[in-house]
Structure 1
Amino acid sequence: MDPRVVFHIDETQKWNLIINSVHNLLLSYEGIFPNAIVEVLANSEAVKGYLLDGGIADSHTMEALSQKGVRFVACNHALQGMKITKEQICQFVKIVPAGVRELVDRQMEGYAYIKP
């Protein structure tokens, strides 16, 4: 069975760490687990990392990772709390109603949970 992993970020200063961790995980799986499922869930202030203009995270690297199959997810409650609209975030980001629900659902599906 291929691994399923959800990375959880809720602090803006940890975006580089998350992106590097996702990248390193994918590299370690090359040729071994080609169908690994990796999701990055941002809630709280970390949703600012998905902003198109002035985002905290490297959107070019995130987009490249999304093209490799990494799913980037944002909590709608956090977006609303930060007054961020769907139009202000990267197009490859999926918005879910509640980040905590997303984490629970993924863990119930057997995803490994990583929070640096």
Structure 2
Amino acid sequence: MKVIYHIDETEKWDLVLGNAMNMLNYGKENNTTFEIEIVANGIAVTGLFQHEAEEANLYSRMEELDAQKVTFAACNNALKKYTTPNTILCPFAAVVPAGVVELAQKQQEGYSYIKP
């Protein structure tokens, strides 16, 4: 099953990561494979800044999800708006041209859309 999570609020990172982990755990228990992508746009893209993820105690959970092949995508439009000269993106985060386009394309490819 292919699933795309959409996050555009920084306060929802804990919820999104928990949802993705719960889905993977369900998959392990029920012999179901999930292909998961988490797309961050708007202000939530700052959650993929390494220092922000570390300060919020989310980085290790993100790394764990990355190790389980969860894809993290950062909207380039949002990055242009929120990036500062010192910003370092998490190494596991991929940049997509536009978060909304990524969401639409993935849904067209059969991904289920979830927005916690």
TM-score, normalised via structure 2 length: 0.91
**What residue number does 1:29 align with?**
27
Question: How many Å apart are 1:60 and its aligned residue?
Answer: 1.0
Letter aligned with residue 111 of structure 1: Y
Amino acid at match of 1:33: T
Instruction: Say which SS state the counterpart of residue 39 (structure 1) adopts.
Output: strand
**Is contact 1:16-1:57 (8 Å) kept?**
no
Q: Does 1:72 align with 2:65?
A: no
Which residues of 2 match residues 1-116 of structure 1 at below 5 A?
3-30=1-28, 31-34=30-33, 36-55=34-53, 56=56, 58-84=58-84, 88-116=88-116
Q: Distance in 1 between matches of 2:45 and 2:38?
A: 11
Q: State the aligned residue count.
A: 113
Which ranges in structure 1 are unaligned for 5 or more consecutive residues?
none
- Distance verdict in 2 for CA 1:90–1:49, change over 3 Å: same
Q: Normalised by the size of structure 1, how large is the TM-score?
A: 0.91
Q: Which whole-Å deviations, capped at 9, do the CAs of 1:18-62 have from their partners, x for residues lacking one? A: 00000000000115123x200000000001111111334601110
Query: Tell me, which stretches of 5 or more residues in structure 2 are unaligned?
Result: none
